[in-house]
Chain A
């Protein structure tokens, strides 16, 4: 089994994985960080979105071994010293979540949108950019508002 190491939320971690171990399984299983979720098996729902080397990817469609040496950020790593990330805060303030299952992926996707598209986001842009994230509870109405507000405060 290949031994891998990576930096997850700023912490150096290592582990033995099989070639077939998915990044999401490494994060949830080996590291016990269960904030990253799996909602589908065809790379569409986006519940598993994490950042690898600064870019949002679907951790259900990435091999852990291929992320050897990478910097990985998950939803657990967003708050610093107990202070929520503006995007987390915005989801709460704008009721951008209900059951909470898609939320970590949505928040990670939201932050990635800001990185690529800037802090002033139009509703239309946010809706287009959320193509890879499915929510069944909110009708996206408040998610869009939350990302717009969170972006402005980032």
Chain B
């Protein structure tokens, strides 16, 4: 293994600019003559807009224009859309209400955008916005997802009767009912998967710029997938055709899903630039705005049941979930509680019968869409809480319960679409138990009790599906796009390489790992490789970065393009060295002719390809540049075992995570340092979900967690250092054998924490987040016993 090849702990190439303050995020870009856009937002969760009076604001100092939903309608600016069609049980298509870029007739959540003011300075824009007079007729708000389907609940969208977007199902209902009828034991849990705010540290931002001379738009935006943004803004919003719109996502400061989606503000900045006479319009969310408008994650209410036989063998699983979509269907919202959730309800287990129903509902809250893990954390939470609880009810050691039910042979077809292709679940469980010294737990628990601490241990044996694919399959499930990835490899005449990729890093280190792949394959140093991404004018097309897909799908596309480069370079080398192509070998960056000492370095072949002196250009085109599109044959299935050990202060309900072991199987690993970092971050977000984070609305739909004063982000002192281990079953569906690692921690962690928590307190459930208050409530039985 070279220092910069596959498997090396190579330091990141992108770091230099970030640690010296030279990163270039959207807000760091300022275009000449740029104005600012400020959004006037709804203070009400649900109201009719009777009248918007902008006259005074339009005349305020520094104001270039004030735009409302009426203007958008007049200019034929379409709304933003949801790109995944889900059909209900009865075959009817989901009921998607309109999502105008500026409210038309109605506001549906606090923070809904009502008007935009474009002015020379932010102070001027804010002052003018205060002069806009909006007459609202305030309506009752529908905030509780469970109550939203009941008769009399306020209706968010006319098209969705009983606020129901769809009533979807998966699995064999009859067979599952039968399994439950015959079960020796049934475990039931009512679980709430708390609503989370993604909180990328860089708030969303956009600069729209219209060039009247060229009739061309440019959008700088905080996006995980600039090409998809361009597609949606062109094809659905109808602002401009794709060749008249360039979307650039420069450095992106985290996303975790929230920057996949196409947001109204991006469209409005572009449109407002044209309306303001071609002045670039910049909008940067402040954190309060982010809390009101970024798509949130999770927000499921589920009744889950597990049927077992007398030996603890699982015979069936069923779940009924109500998924809160918020006030509008965000870009991929409908896929999250359906195909990204219920298809994983088999977990790591051989479960013969599964049936799940999911009702998606509208409420007067901000939209909910994919957030790190997207559906899979919710599935892992259901499965792992059920299995652990069943083990306790059946008096079986939770590890043993899992072993009895693990899938042992592959491929394994689950009853809910997924076909697991590889894995070794015993291996990760055993390694994790050894690393945390499971055998010594009872001793540690006793020692903790002597200090007034309740100690618990919890497992989470998660599995996830990444690299959502193949396109034909996701298309048949309702996806509006194909989920392949593209790559172009440009070899320069001097042998340096540019990789153009449709993936787009927002912290994952693609500039490093993608370069490692190239370095490994072409035998050139990684510093001779540049990664180009995040610009629709440079990269032809791509699907972006989410769902842990950039390794498995994006790098495979690069790998395929590299195959073509190697093949062509061999041809060139054969001509130059006057050998038969079949005798040319490529190894460690040089081409050699079998049985001779003839040899050419990669760079020499590149130069030969460009000077084109020594091969017939009628047979071989000059130059060395190849592209590839890769559509995987299957999802990939990262899996592993996380074990959490925690202590609860019996007096206060304060929880401390005292130990954490994560053993993950990501297949082959390109850069262990980066992969470990991804796991750390994912676990932290999962612990955040379990212990500290929740988006809370009051009954009237006002957001109570609108800043870091009330939304509790995990800090350094909330978290331990993590112990990581790896197992490896190579992924068979891509040539690199990699599965993906970006979401694993967030998927695994909540169940591990809550299994440990319930074990510590000796209760069946504690609602997430297990804040000191919630834990204290859950300890009422202990206080009563003490009295």
Contacts and interface: CB of A to CB of B under 8 A. Distances in A.
Interface of A: 20, 28, 33-42, 44-45, 47, 74-76, 78-79, 84, 88, 91-93, 95, 97-104, 107, 123, 126-128, 130-131, 133-144
Contacts of A74: 21
The 4 closest A-B pairs by CB, nearest first: A35-B21, A139-B684, A100-B18, A101-B253
Interface in B699-746: 707-709, 713-717, 719, 721-722, 745
B294 to A, nearest CB: 12
Contact of B715 (A39, A47, A131): A131
Contacts of A139: 680-685, 714, 719, 722, 745
Given A123-B721, A137-B254, A141-B722, A97 B19 contact: yes
Nearest to B289: A41
A72 to B, nearest CB: 13
Interface string B566-597: 00000000000000000000000000000000
A115 to B, nearest CB: 18
Nearest to A18: B123
Interface in B241-285: 251-254, 256
Contacts of B709: 42, 44
Contacts of A107: 19
A104 B256 CA distance: 21
B707 A36 contact: no
A91 B21 contact: no
Contacts of B20: 35, 75-76, 78-79, 84, 88
A95 B677 contact: yes
A126 B716 contact: yes
A142 B287 contact: no
Contacts of A39: 201-203, 287
B199 interface: yes
Given A35-B22, A92-B11, 16 more contacts: A20-B123, A35-B23, A37-B202, A39-B287, A41-B288, A74-B21, A76-B20, A95-B677, A100-B251, A101-B201, A103-B19, A130-B715, A130-B717, A137-B681, A139-B681, A144-B721
Nearest to A78: B20
A144 B677 CA distance: 13
Nearest to A100: B18
A47 B19 contact: no
A75 B21 contact: yes
Contacts of A20: 123
Interface stretch (B105-113, B432-440, B477-485, B504-512): B504-512
Contact of B716 (A37, A91, A93, A130): A130
B28 interface: yes
A98 B721 contact: no
Contacts of A44: 707-709
Contact of B507 (A35, A42, A75, A100): A100
B25 interface: yes
A74 B21 CA distance: 8
B254 A76 contact: no
Given A79-B20, A107-B19, A144-B721, A95 B674 contact: yes
Contacts of A141: 677, 680, 684, 719, 721-722
A83 B507 CA distance: 24
9 contacts: A20-B123, A34-B25, A44-B709, A88-B19, A91-B15, A95-B12, A99-B202, A103-B18, A143-B716
A107 B25 CA distance: 18
B200 A95 contact: no
Contacts of A40: 286-287, 707-708
A92 B19 contact: yes
Given A35-B22, A75-B21, A79-B20, A98 B715 contact: no
A39 B709 CA distance: 14
B31 interface: no
Contacts of B673: 95
Interface residues of B, number: 57
B12 A127 contact: no
B310 interface: no
A13 to B, nearest CB: 16
B675 to A, nearest CB: 10
A133 B714 CA distance: 10
B684 to A, nearest CB: 3
Contacts of A134: 201, 708, 713, 715
Given A35-B21, A39-B203, A100-B507, A45 B716 contact: no
A128 to B, nearest CB: 5
Nearest to B372: A136
A14 to B, nearest CB: 20
Contacts of B719: 127, 139-141
* Chain B contact residues, majority secondary structure: loop
Chain A at the B interface: SS class: loop
A40 B684 CA distance: 20
A98 B707 contact: no
A98 B507 contact: yes
A126 B684 CA distance: 17
B717 A131 contact: yes
Contact of B201 (A34, A93, A135): A135
A45 B253 CA distance: 14
Contacts of A88: 19-20
B710 to A, nearest CB: 9
Given A41-B286, A41-B288, A93-B11, A142 B680 contact: yes
B491 to A, nearest CB: 29
Interface in B668-696: 673-674, 676-678, 680-685
A100 B253 contact: yes
B287 to A, nearest CB: 4
Given A41-B707, A139-B680, A144-B721, A98 B21 contact: no
Nearest to A44: B708
A37 B708 CA distance: 16
Nearest to B287: A40
Contacts of A137: 201, 254, 507, 677, 681
B515 to A, nearest CB: 16
Contacts of B683: 139
B14 interface: yes
Contacts of B443: none
A47 to B, nearest CB: 6
A47 B254 CA distance: 13
Contacts of A45: 201, 287, 708
A97 B715 contact: no
A123 B16 CA distance: 25
A41 B287 contact: yes
Contacts of A76: 20-22
A143 B717 CA distance: 12
A35 B508 CA distance: 20
Interface string B27-53: 110000000000000000000000000
Interface in B322-360: none
A39 B25 CA distance: 12
Nearest to A107: B19
B508 to A, nearest CB: 7
Contact of B252 (A79, A99, A133): A99
A33 B21 CA distance: 8
Given A88-B20, A139-B722, A42 B199 contact: no
Residue among A34, A84, A93, A98 having the largest count of chain B Cβ atoms under 10 Å: A98
Interface in B167-225: 199-203
Nearest to A21: B123
B14 to A, nearest CB: 7
A104 B715 contact: no
B331 to A, nearest CB: 21
Contacts of B19: 75, 84, 88, 91-92, 97, 100, 103-104, 107
